[in-house]
Amino acid sequence: MDLKKLFLKADNELESSEKRIRSRKITCKKCQNTSPVKKIRKNYFVCPECGYYFPVRARRRILMLTDNRSFIEHDRDMASRNILDFPEYEEKLTAAKDKSRENEGVITGVAQIGGHKTCIFAMDGNFMMGSMGAVVGEKITRLFEYATTQSLPVIGVTVSGGARMQEGMISLMQMSKVSAAVKRHSDKGGLYIVLLTNPTTGGVDASFAMLGDITLAEPGARVGFAGPRVVEKTLKTALPDGFQKAERVMECGFIDAIVPRHEQKDYLERLLRLHEASREVSM
Amino acid sequence: MMTDIEIVRAARSEKRKTARDYIDGCFTDLTEFSGDRLYGDDRAIIGGIGLLQDMPVTVIGIEKGKNTEDRILHNFGSAHPEGYRKALRLMKQAEKFHRPVICFVDTAGAFPDVESEERGQGRAIAENLYEMSTLKTPVLSIIIGEGGSGGALALSHADRIWMLEDAYYSVVSPESCSNILWKTLDKADVAARALGLTADKLYSLGIIDRICKDKALQEFAADIYGQIKELMSVPTDRLLDERYKKFRSIGYI
Ligand SMILES: [Zn+2]
């Protein structure tokens, strides 16, 4: 299929899903105010009334961060199998596909941001809570390998509950697999920027989410390794205010900057521009 | 034959040999080191240098402790971030002096408290995976008891992964899995079976490289020696290439 057709296909698919929601209104989880979807979308999926950050699906996320019609997807058809014969896994995969309208929990590909070519991946919280199984690990690994051979940066948007239990140790091993690919990309001088979104936890936090050259986060995003209830059980009292919130994690030294949604594309464009400039100077 | 949940219980047994036993039994001239040079010394991780027969090696273990007092000292084998950073420091030191690294892994998991989170538990584990993937010296990791998720993985990005026949290695504890999926702790046995956490299963999946019988430590040391010798004879470039491929090949085919 040629590129033009690919773009058209992507546009049409987006269009039809947009139509379905265009007339709808959404009630904010936080302030209970109801706003038209159109208004919320214009406001980068932030509640116009109270500033609450609505979760954003992966495809929308990439659209928000990249130049119009510049995204070319990789490995779109890759889908998970129930390798371990884990109970109820097929049903969960089917439900996740319906809910997310995606084949798996991450979308990967190449795009331009302000004219700068970059690899990009975005995880999808609607697909089994963005959990990482073999396909998620494989797609991200392939993207880093592609970026390494093409000398391209990688931008990653994370949202994840961690490793996917239904794939047992195969999913845990994806942490090792992706981390090794990130290292190879880095050793070749590749730039990797992470944007942490709510929530980024467990095995994803303990691997590629924490391995960026530059680590950004959305305001209020929960970022951490252990689940809050588990930590509470260790502590035997309530958790301190702001625990595992991006702002606190930044105070602790693990995040470079908190970037509000409407500034994210410009912010990434600036980072890509600055790195491109330094590469030219060194040549 | 033990069921999967019985294996998990055996792996947790306090009567079991801990990392300390293996280290004392397999190496001589053992000299222990402390601290991560960043924050403190995490006693859940023990490590240093010693001799494996005639060969200087770096040894690292997750230690659970021997009696109540000792277990508290070692935090029951659950490391804070400084533990993983201490391990990484020792591995980097091994790389510098061309010593192979042998890790003994036995942990229910990384310690889940507020301090660990705020000192970057996720980052510490991630950094180990990242750095170990290109560590220019052979690494052998042996799961001797509990291989509890990310906390065990952080010392297991190795050229060879061995496992005791009655140890387990799992993405999540069967109890948590049962609780999360079925809202009950009563189905831990079902979860244990489903998770495929036994040495047999992981060997068949290509995740571990050898299943070890519980044998006299002298014999065990000889097995380790043979393996390390073999890995030491591989040129570094090829070693790292093969290490990359080992993890690269797990999962989607
Ligand atoms: Zn609101």
Q: How far apart are CA B15 and CA B77, in angstroms?
A: 15
Q: CA-CA distance, B2 to A270, in Å (whole number)?
A: 59
Question: Is B238 inside a domain boundary?
Answer: yes
Position A5 scores a pLDDT of 58
Predicted local distance difference test score (pLDDT) of residue A4:
57
Q: Count of alpha carbons within 13 Å of B21, Cβ hemisphere only?
A: 16
Give the CA distances from residue B101 to residues A38, A92, A143, in Å, rounded to whole numbers and listed in that order.
58, 41, 31
Inter-residue contact B165 to B211 (CB < 8 Å): yes
Cis peptide before A199 (omega within 30 of 0): yes
Q: What is the DSSP letter of A194?
A: E
Contact indicator for A180, A144 with CB cutoff of 8 Å = no
Q: Do A163 and B114 touch (CB under 8 A)?
A: no
What integer pLDDT is reported at residue A24 of this predicted model? Answer: 84
**pLDDT number for residue A52:** 95
Query: What would the pLDDT profile of B172-196 be if each residue is shown by its tens digit?
Result: 999 999 999 999 999 999 999 999 9
pLDDT over 70 at A20, yes or no? no
What is the set of domains in chain A, with CATH numbers?
1-55 (no CATH), 56-282 (3.90.226.10)
How much is the average pLDDT of A45-69?
A: 96
Give yes or no for residue B146 having a pLDDT over 80: yes
> Is residue B142's pLDDT more than 90?
yes
pLDDT value, residue A10: 53
B30's CB contacts (< 8 A; 6+ apart) are: B23, B24, B48, B49, B50, B59
Going from the Cα of A28 to the center of ligand 1, the distance in angstroms, rounded, reads 5
Quick check: is B252 in a domain?
Answer: no
Q: What is the mean pLDDT of chain B?
A: 97
- The DSSP 8-state label assigned to residue A211 in this structure reads -
pLDDT of residue B197: 98
Which residue in B50, B52, B116 sits closest to B84, CA to CA? B116
**Candidates A168, A172, A187; nearest CB to B153:** A172
> Taking CB atoms and an 8 Å limit, are A209 and B171 in contact across chains?
no
What domain count does chain B have?
Answer: 1
Span A95-134, pLDDT tens digits:
999 999 999 999 999 999 999 999 999 999 999 999 999 9
Of A174, A208, A231, the CB nearest to B251: A174
Q: What pLDDT digit, counting tens, does each position of B62-96 carry?
A: 999 999 999 999 999 999 999 999 999 999 999 99
For position A1, what pLDDT does the model report?
43
Residue B225: domain span: 4-246
- Does residue A22 register a pLDDT over 70? no
Of B180, B181, B251, the CB nearest to A170: B251
More confident residue, A94 or A11: A94
Cα B80 to averaged position of ligand 1 atoms, centre (Å): 38
How many Å lie between the alpha carbon of B218 and the closest alpha carbon of chain A? 31
Task: Determine whether the interchain pair A206/B150 forms a contact, defined as Cβ–Cβ distance below 8 Å.
Answer: yes
Q: How many CA atoms lie within 13 A of B63 on its CB side?
A: 24
CB contact under 8 A, B119 and A252: yes
Average pLDDT of span A88-93: 97
User: To the nearest whole percent, how much of chain A has pLDDT over 70?
Assistant: 90
Q: Chain A: nearest CA to B219, how far in angstroms?
A: 29
A283 has a pLDDT exceeding 70: no
For residue B156, pLDDT over 60 is answered with yes
- Within a domain: residue B253? no
Judge: A163–B121 Cβ closer than 8 Å, yes or no. Answer: no
What average pLDDT does the segment B202-218 reach? Answer: 96
Percentage, residues of chain B above pLDDT 70: 100
> Residue B133: CA atoms inside 13 Å, Cβ hemisphere, count?
26
Within 8 A of A179 by CB-CB distance, chain B residues are 126, 129-130, 133, 157
CATH code: domain of residue B120 = 3.90.226.10
Amino acid at B253: I
CA distances from B17 to A4, B21, B50, B140, B209 (A): 64, 6, 20, 18, 21
Structure confidence by residue, pLDDT tens digits, A101-110? 999 999 999 9
A168-187 and B121-132 are packed helices; what angle lies between their axes, rounded to 10 degrees?
Answer: 70
In a domain, B10, yes or no: yes
By CA distance, what is B127's nearest residue in A? Answer: A211
| Residue type for position B203 | Y
Does any domain span residue B184? yes
* DSSP type of residue A177: H
Q: B17: which 2 tokens?
A: 């040999």
Asked whether residue B35 is domain-assigned, the answer is yes
